[in-house]
Amino acid sequence: MTTLHSLLTHADVPVLPAGTPDALAAESGYQLLCPHRPEATARPTTTGQVSAAVRAAVESGVPYSVINSGHGRRDSLDGGLLISLDGLRSASLDGRTVRVGGGTRWGDVVAQTASAGLAVPHGSAPGVGVVGYLLGGGYSIFARSLGLGINAVRSMTVVDGHGEIHRWDLAEIRELFADAWRERVDPGIVTEVTLEATSARPLTAGGFCVVGARVRELMQVFCGWAEELPEDATCSLGVMRRPSGPVVGHVRLTATGDRGPVMAVVDRLRSRFPVTEDDGFDIGWDDPGRIYREPASARPYVGDNLVSTSAPDLDAFWSALSGEDGGPVILDLRQIGGQTAHPDRDGLSAPGQWVTGLVAPTTDARQEVDAEGVTRLLAAAVPEALGSAENFTYGVGAGW
């Protein structure tokens, strides 16, 4: 124990005192399931300190793990060194280039780009870490018009498992991330990324809800309706069963082309249902969290997904989503395709038109989740799956 602590101290790597609120927050982050229980938590503020922290762990013979926001945390240290990236949280804009520290969240980037009239291919939750998202390719909520998040990356600075520092250029990134959507890249610790933003086109973005038994009909017609959308529009359907109260369906959409045609298609769906919480589809580039309305506070959850070209049979989920037994379950259906499947120029792609995901909020006791039941349900709804998108697979440890 002394060895790890004294090596960190000797190398001037900041360490979070055990038991303090900052240390406890770093041990789980957003995913509360099975938190890390490290011997020490380092909070480096430079690439050099990340390198020194890795060397200290290697020299002490202890395992180490890295955490940013914790949204995609999959491991749980018992002893060893936890490296929190919170000290590398920064975003600065120079023209269209955004220089992003390894602990930056998408919300930090959007705070710089939106006011400058620029767009970046971020996901649905502003609290998600930029690097963690990119390691799985990055399915943007603008998937069909902006393509995979990884295509915005121009360079990366990485500390490998020996503490050596590398800088990857565009060609190396394109080669390493070619299959990232189904096999997350494990590069070492990314301490800095440069992104190239694009001009922000006029945005149509927002959603509405349908509540109760009519959600079943919404699920039955949703994919057919989505096929009428123009290619610059990307939609999604979230359906949530809650422990008390009726099931809720949330239609979400972003579009970067003319508003008229896309709103005509939106109105065909909206006018069919008694809708609630209609936000008018006028959310701007500066407020990404309002589109999907995902919770910002930490929680325990597991989840899985299947990617497909043909539309899933969402009716297969109805009994699970409407049943009164069991805990809450969320269906998270995301439309992809467009620039994600067929990017302009030589960008990276991911196949399919749909990602069908199920998320089960849970407690620390994994046994309470019927993981096999979820896998069976997904397989029944998506018989011709192309694989799973790793970014939307949630849970700590093996067995999910």
Ligand X SMILES: Cc1cc2nc3c(=O)[nH]c(=O)nc-3n(C[C@H](O)[C@H](O)[C@H](O)COP(=O)(O)OP(=O)(O)OC[C@H]3O[C@@H](n4cnc5c(N)ncnc54)[C@H](O)[C@@H]3O)c2cc1C
Whose Cβ is closer to ligand X: residue 44's or residue 132's? 132
Whose Cβ is closer to ligand X: residue 316's or residue 358's? 358
Residue 130 dihedral angles phi and psi, to the nearest 5°: -60, -50
Structural contact between residues 51 and 13, judged by C-beta atoms closer than 8 angstroms: no
Whose Cβ is closer to ligand X: residue 146's or residue 275's? 146
Question: Any contact of residue 73 with ligand X (CB under 6 A)?
Answer: yes
Q: Give the contact letters, 260-279, x = binds to ligand X (CB under 6 A), - = no.
A: --------------------
Q: Residue 210 corresponds to which tokens in the numbers above?
A: 């349908």
Question: Residue 171: how many CB atoms within 10 A of its CB?
Answer: 8
Cα–Cα distance for residue pair 77/79, rounded to 1 Å? 6
Residue 174 dihedral angles phi and psi, to the nearest 5°: -60, -35
| Nearest distance, CB of residue 219 and ligand X, angstroms | 20
Question: Any contact of residue 331 with ligand X (CB under 6 A)?
Answer: no
Question: Any contact of residue 168 with ligand X (CB under 6 A)?
Answer: no
Structural contact between residues 116 and 200, judged by C-beta atoms closer than 8 angstroms: no
Of 349, 345, 391, the residue nearest 148 (C-alpha): 349
DSSP characters for 171-202? HHHHHHTTTTTTS----SEEEEEEEE-EE---
Question: Any contact of residue 360 with ligand X (CB under 6 A)?
Answer: no
Question: Any contact of residue 146 with ligand X (CB under 6 A)?
Answer: no
Question: Any contact of residue 70 with ligand X (CB under 6 A)?
Answer: yes
Structural contact between residues 59 and 7, judged by C-beta atoms closer than 8 angstroms: yes
**Site of tokens 């990356």:** 153
Type of residue at 136: G
| Nearest distance, CB of residue 284 and ligand X, angstroms | 18
Whose Cβ is closer to ligand X: residue 128's or residue 314's? 128
Q: Residue 347 corresponds to which tokens in the numbers above?
A: 């960008």
Cα–Cα distance for residue pair 87/44, rounded to 1 Å? 6
Question: Any contact of residue 294 with ligand X (CB under 6 A)?
Answer: yes
Q: Give the contact letters, 49-68, x = binds to ligand X (CB under 6 A), - = no.
A: -----------------xxx
Question: Any contact of residue 131 with ligand X (CB under 6 A)?
Answer: yes
Q: Give the contact letters, 21-50, x = binds to ligand X (CB under 6 A), - = no.
A: --------x---------------------
- List 38, 80, 87, 123, residue binding ligand X (CB under 6 A): 123
| Nearest distance, CB of residue 138 and ligand X, angstroms | 5
* Contact residues: ligand X, CB under 6 A: 29, 66-74, 85, 102, 123-125, 128-129, 131-133, 135-136, 138-139, 141, 189-190, 294, 391
